């Protein structure tokens, strides 16, 4: 024991992790673009005919304009904001429900565990896309950003719930949890001070992943015309470009902008999450 405590603690900074630095920097660009710059749009990016149609990129319209008379840049900025919002809502709701269900199932065991896991497994097993399509269909493309996020979160809690339950099961076996119980520590305190610290690193990584998946799902729905078509999102950006055959008509800036933005956003989220996971793993050992 003595020799262990004497081992030098090497302080590893998260900024030494290249993946994280690259991913996070890119992500910050998106966040600034979506949440700050988008507010300075000279016109409502959603309304039609505010700018001349089908102009290629220029100084005035950095990413060109569309056949609908929208400015691609400002539409994209607004779209990034909304897509991130959908991702956040789905990740927060899904994560919170997932962690709660997982911890409850893992720690109560018995019947409660079995019922909760049966439900969870159902949600994992059924293919999510057809059901999402069905649900979105009910809104006929008129869902608000918030509602879209909630619809997507219906499927984003199940996997985290399983994972957290597995963690809870192994934590439950740990002596220091039993020790806390026999010391009369209140259950909520055990939860917050003994268990959460172990689940949090994983939760953060999972949270970013959930954002990524939700943004992707929204885009899928949008391409099918089932998303919030009135709103600007990365998905609806692609939808309108496809509706007006932007590719065949040589309006490459219209279709390329949301697609490239989406790819870069995915990569940045992926790198951030991966880097974080690596960092937390190295810190734990």
Ligand X SMILES: Nc1ncnc2c1ncn2[C@@H]1O[C@H](COP(=O)(O)OP(=O)(O)O)[C@@H](O)[C@H]1O
Residue 28 as a binder of other proteins (CB under 8 A): the answer is no
2: contact with ligand X by CB under 6 A: yes
Cα distances from 170 to residues 94, 103, 251, in angstroms, run 22, 11, 55
Cα–Cα distance, 107 to 169 (Å, whole number): 7
5/9 Cα distance (integer angstroms): 9
1 near other proteins, rule: CB under 8 A: yes
Of 23, 12, 8, which is closest to residue 275 (Cα–Cα)?
A: 23
Beta bridge partners of 71: 65
Tally Cβ neighbours within 10 Å of residue 10. 7
Nearest to 235 by CA among 224, 251, 222, 217: 222
Shortest gap between Cβ of 10 and other proteins (angstroms)? 12
Query: Least distance in Å: CB of 12 to other proteins?
Result: 17
Closest to 80 in 3D by CA, of 70, 68, 69, 88: 88
Whichever of 173 and 183 has its CB closer to ligand X, that residue is: 173
Minimum Å distance from CB 172 to ligand X? 10
Of 8 and 59, nearer to other proteins (C-beta) is: 8
**Which is nearer to other proteins, 194 or 278 (by Cβ)?**
194
Tell me the β-bridge partners of 65.
71
Residue 54 or 194 with smaller CB distance to other proteins: 194
Minimum distance of ligand X from residue 274's CB (angstroms): 32
Residues 6 or more apart whose Cβ sits within 8 Å of residue 106: 113, 164, 165, 166, 167, 168, 169, 171, 172
- In 71-144, where does DSSP find H-type helix? 72-108, 110-125, 128-138
Q: Applying CB under 8 A, does 6 fall inside the site for other proteins? A: yes
User: Which of 179, 200, 260, 263 is close enough to bind other proteins by CB under 8 A?
Assistant: 179
Binders of ligand X among 4-23, rule CB under 6 A? 6
Nearer of residues 9 and 248 to other proteins, judged by Cβ: 9
- Partner from other proteins, ligand X, none binding residue 142, C-beta < 5-8 Å depending on class: none
C-alpha 161: how far from chain center: 16
Using the structure block, give the residue that is written with the tokens 């008509």: 249
Q: Least distance from C-beta 206 to other proteins, angstroms? A: 23
Q: Cβ 9 to other proteins, closest distance in Å?
A: 10
Q: Does 178 bind other proteins (CB under 8 A)?
A: yes
d(CA 46, CA 71): 9
Q: How far is the CB of 100 from ligand X (least distance, A)?
A: 25
Closest CA to 127 of 209, 217, 205: 217
Between 25 and 170, whose beta carbon lies closer to ligand X?
170
Burial of 125 per CB tally in 10 Å (0-12, 13-18, 19+):
exposed
18 lines the binding site for other proteins (CB under 8 A): no
Q: Candidates 1-9, 59-67, 135-143, 198-206 — which segment interacts with ligand X by CB under 6 A?
A: 1-9
Q: Which residues bind ligand X (CB under 6 A)?
A: 2-3, 6
Q: Which spans of this chain sit near other proteins (rule: CB under 8 A)?
A: 1-6, 8, 172, 174-176, 178-186, 193-194, 197
């Amino acid at each position: 024991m003595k020799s262990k405590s004497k081992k030098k603690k090497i302080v590893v900074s998260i900024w030494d992790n290249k993946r994280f630095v690259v991913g996070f920097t890119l992500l910050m660009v998106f966040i600034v673009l979506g949440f700050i710059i988008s507010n300075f749009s000279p016109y409502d990016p959603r309304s039609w005919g505010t700018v001349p149609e089908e102009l290629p990129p220029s100084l005035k319209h950095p990413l060109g304009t569309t056949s609908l008379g929208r400015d691609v840049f400002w539409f994209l900025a607004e779209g990034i904001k909304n897509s991130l919002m959908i991702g956040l809502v789905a990740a927060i709701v899904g994560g919170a429900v997932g962690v709660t269900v997982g911890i409850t199932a893992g720690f109560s065991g018995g019947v409660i565990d079995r019922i909760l896991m049966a439900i969870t497994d159902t949600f994992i097993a059924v293919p999510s896309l057809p059901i999402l399509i069905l649900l979105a269909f009910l809104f006929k493309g008129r869902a608000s950003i918030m509602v879209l996020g909630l619809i997507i979160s219906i499927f984003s809690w199940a996997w985290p719930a399983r994972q957290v339950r597995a963690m809870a099961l192994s934590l439950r076996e740990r002596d220091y949890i039993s020790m806390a119980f026999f010391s009369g520590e209140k259950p909520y305190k055990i939860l917050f001070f003994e268990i959460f610290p172990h689940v949090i690193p994983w939760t953060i990584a999972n949270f970013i992943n959930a954002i990524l998946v939700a943004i992707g799902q929204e885009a899928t729905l949008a391409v099918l015309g089932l998303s919030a078509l009135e709103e600007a999102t990365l998905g609806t950006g692609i939808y309108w470009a496809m509706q007006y055959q932007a590719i065949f008509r040589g309006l490459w800036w219209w279709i390329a902008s949301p697609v490239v933005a989406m790819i870069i956003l995915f990569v940045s989220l992926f790198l951030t999450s991966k880097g974080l996971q690596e960092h937390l793993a190295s810190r734990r050992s």
